[in-house]
């Protein structure tokens, strides 16, 4: 990710906030929900570690270290703030190199204004409300260590702007999000596609207790290069007590300054089966096809997830790529505290 302008460096002591709160308010702590200091302030965070083993590399990473604060200021107004350091510590066992990046970035910083079921406004830096995967930014809440290429390369993962959302009046269980950004991101070192132009509409409908689905359309202009991309996206999920099947797909057309318009297609189909609340097996197929540089990949993943308790996860997976030199094992340990 490229910087668009100078970004404030956050003090390294920020990650200690939950520990300080623990010493002062230990009796109000709940694992996974943080420290409750009243309705207007809850403090928590999370961390995750990852080990990757492939033909060319064995690497350990303390990947995410984050602190969060959230609460209700009034019955109609709430907020969330999240600062995160990525690549906090990394050790490459192949060549012996070590490095770290302890700079905290603004991952989310927004307010929610609740008016009624049909009209609400979220303002500030927030997750782009597209599909399922992108709305679960925390490793411990996901079913695999890795993220599908679909969720990383085709649209900005965050937006700094507004999201007007609610349930469509008269439509049974149909939720909408209209989102817009026309300024720089709060932290352009911490977004996959920096931009100052991003607009979209997302819809999602609950068909039954087990089925829901939706889709979105949008447009953004990347700050680097000025390419304009328009996309259409769709998602579908089936879930019961033992099984979760998720599918997402996207088609995007980018207008390049040199080379004309080119299409990109991506998607995944994932299935998870829970043997018990603690143990689950997962499999995923991914497809990615970028016509601009004739890059395509088919990815197959099989993995296992163990949660001794919900806010703690240990996950392992193996990935097969049609690009054979990219096959790898991944393992992760994550805690939401």
How confident is the model over 272-297, as pLDDT tens digits? 999 999 999 999 999 999 988 888 89
Q: How far is CA 107 from CA 152, 169, 258, 281, in A?
A: 15, 32, 33, 30
pLDDT-wise least confident of 25-29, 120-124, 126-130: 25-29
pLDDT at position 41: 94
Q: What mean pLDDT comes out for the span 172-191?
A: 93
pLDDT at position 170: 86
| Residues 57-114 pLDDT 10s | 899 998 889 999 999 999 999 999 999 998 888 898 888 888 888 889 999 999 999 9
pLDDT at 9 over 50: no
Residue count of the chain:
337
Q: How far is CA 100 from CA 24, 87, 88, 97, 139, in A?
A: 30, 6, 5, 10, 19
Structural contact between residues 286 and 298, judged by C-beta atoms closer than 8 angstroms: yes
pLDDT at position 205: 96
pLDDT at position 94: 84
Structural contact between residues 266 and 248, judged by C-beta atoms closer than 8 angstroms: no
pLDDT at position 212: 96
pLDDT at position 5: 36
> Tokens 């970004």 map to which residue?
7
Q: What mean pLDDT comes out for the span 312-332?
A: 92
Residue 95 burial (CB < 10 Å; 0-12/13-18/19+)? exposed
| Banded model confidence at residue 311, pLDDT cuts 50, 70, 90 | very high
pTM of the model: 0.87
Pairing assessment for the beta strands 34-36 and 29-30 based on DSSP bridges: antiparallel
Encoded tokens for 301: 């993943």
Q: What mean pLDDT comes out for the span 117-136?
A: 96
Alpha-helix residue ranges (DSSP H) falling in 59-211: 150-153
Beta-strand ranges (E) seen in 128-242 are 158-167, 174-181, 195-206, 211-222, 228-239
pLDDT at position 327: 92
pLDDT at 299 over 70: yes
User: How many whole angstroms separate alpha carbon 133 and alpha carbon 150?
Assistant: 9
pLDDT at position 139: 87
Taking the CB of residue 112, how many other CB atoms lie within 10 A of it? 20
Q: What mean pLDDT comes out for the span 30-40?
A: 88
Q: How far is CA 10 from CA 39, 103, 105, 141, 249, in A?
A: 26, 6, 7, 26, 36
């Amino acid at each position: 990710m490229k910087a668009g302008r100078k970004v404030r460096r956050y003090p390294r002591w920020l990650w200690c906030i939950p520990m300080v709160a623990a010493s002062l308010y230990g009796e109000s702590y709940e694992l996974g929900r943080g420290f409750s200091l009243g309705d207007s302030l809850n403090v928590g965070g999370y961390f995750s570690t990852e080990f990757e083993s492939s033909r060319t590399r064995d690497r350990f990473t303390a990947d995410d270290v984050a602190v969060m604060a959230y609460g209700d200021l009034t019955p109609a107004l709430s907020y969330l703030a999240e600062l995160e350091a990525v690549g906090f510590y990394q050790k490459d066992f192949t060549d012996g190199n070590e490095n770290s990046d302890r700079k905290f970035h603004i991952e989310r910083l927004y307010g929610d204004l609740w008016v009624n079921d049909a009209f609400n406004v979220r303002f500030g830096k927030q997750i782009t409300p597209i599909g399922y995967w992108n709305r679960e930014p925390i490793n411990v809440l996901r079913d695999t260590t890795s993220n599908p290429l679909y969720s990383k390369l085709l649209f900005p993962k965050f937006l700094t702007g507004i999201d007007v959302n609610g349930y469509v009046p008269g439509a049974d269980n149909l939720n909408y999000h209209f989102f817009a950004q026309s300024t720089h991101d709060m932290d352009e070192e911490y977004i996959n596609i920096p931009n100052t132009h991003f607009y979209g509409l997302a819809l999602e409908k609950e068909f039954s207790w087990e089925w829901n689905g939706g889709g979105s359309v949008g447009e953004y202009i990347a700050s680097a290069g000025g390419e304009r991309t328009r996309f259409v996206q769709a998602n579908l999920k089936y879930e019961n007590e033992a099984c979760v099947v998720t599918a997402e797909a996207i088609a995007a057309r980018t207008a390049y300054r040199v080379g004309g318009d080119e299409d990109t297609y991506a998607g995944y189909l994932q299935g998870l089966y829970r043997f018990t609340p603690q143990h689950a097996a997962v499999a995923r197929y991914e497809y990615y096809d970028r016509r601009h540089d004739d890059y395509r990949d088919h990815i197959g993943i099989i993995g296992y997830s163990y949660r001794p308790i919900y806010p703690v996860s240990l996950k392992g997976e193996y990935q097969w790529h049609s690009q054979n030199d990219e096959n790898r094992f991944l393992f992760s340990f994550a805690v939401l505290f």
